[in-house]
Chains A and B, each alone.
Chain A
Amino acid sequence: MTPLASYLLVAALLFSIGLAGALTRRNAILVLIGIELMLNAANLNLIAFWRFGPHPEALTGMMFAIFSIAVAAAEAAVGLGLVIQIHRHAKTTDLDAMNRMKG
């Protein structure tokens, strides 16, 4: 097995763990944690392809990963702000309890 394949497998495992967390947990914050794990797994793929692909000096994969980190930070800030506001409004972060679109 090539090094790239093993990095891709680790990233796939992390992505699936994040997906399982996002789909199975009740708490909205834990769902966000799962999404963060998925984004990180994608970043690992980008960096691994940059490292083992041709022309690493073009920095394409690296730049993609850096911008992806910045976008993920913005996503985390807005997502957690929304969770806090929903908690203030509905007094819960349990996603199973939030079954109405009407406030």
Chain B
Amino acid sequence: MSGMFFLISALAVGGGLAAVLLKNTVHCALALTLAFAGLALLFLQLDAQYAGFAQMLVYIGAVAILVVFAILLTRGSETPKDGVYSRNWFAGLVIAAAVFAMLGWAVLQSTSVLPHETAEPVVTVQQIGIALMGRYVLPLEIVALLLTAATIGAVIVAMHEKEGAK
């Protein structure tokens, strides 16, 4: 347990909290980017360089930008007059707190049986590539198909309806 871990997890958790709590939607998206960056740094801390950089590229580079575009297209940055929280926010808060209590209890109860390998795994990008093209080639192809379908689907869903098409 290093100070670095606490610093990075404080960044991730703080970014997540700000993304959920801030009033202005654009600020929420920027805080979300901060949380994603903290998570990518946590991945790097866990010696998962490939996943860490994939996280940076996909989340900070693509998903955060997509969220900002969606906010601008829907004029979501205007704070509504009747508050940013839904009517039954208290029930949601209670459910989230209960889930956290449950998860935290489960983790703390099972600390003695959790695996703990101290050896640093040495994984090169070459090994990951060979695994992706060998053992995991079918999931890779399915993900490729899914991404194509999702891209076409998103474009079709968000496309302007033609006048008089109804």
A residues near B (Cβ < 8 Å) are: 1-10, 12-27, 29-30, 32-34, 36-37, 40, 43-44, 47-54, 56-57, 59, 62-63, 65-67, 69-78, 80-85, 87-88, 93-96
Q: Please measure, in the bound complex, the distance between the C-alpha atom of A14 and the C-alpha atom of B154, giving whole angstroms.
A: 27
- Report whether B66 and A34 are in contact in the complex, using a CB–CB cutoff of 8 Å: no
Report the nearest A residue to B18, measured CB to CB: A17
Contact sample, A vs B, 20 pairs, CB 8 Å cutoff: A10-B9, A16-B96, A16-B100, A23-B92, A25-B84, A25-B85, A26-B85, A36-B63, A43-B55, A44-B39, A44-B42, A47-B43, A52-B114, A59-B123, A69-B51, A73-B63, A76-B67, A81-B153, A93-B74, A95-B86
Chain A residues with CB under 8 Å of B103's CB are: 8, 12, 15-16
- Report whether B117 and A56 are in contact in the complex, using a CB–CB cutoff of 8 Å: yes
- Report whether B157 and A82 are in contact in the complex, using a CB–CB cutoff of 8 Å: yes
Chain A residues with CB under 8 Å of B165's CB are: none
- Report whether A27 and B115 are in contact in the complex, using a CB–CB cutoff of 8 Å: no
Residue of B39, B95, B128, B150 touching A19 (CB-CB under 8 A): B95
Chain B residues with CB under 8 Å of A81's CB are: 153-155, 157-158
User: What 8 pairs across the A-B complex have the smallest Cβ distances?
Assistant: A23-B92, A56-B121, A74-B150, A21-B20, A16-B100, A20-B96, A81-B154, A12-B103
Chain A residues with CB under 8 Å of B116's CB are: 2-4, 52
Q: B interface, how many residues as a size bin?
A: 35 or more
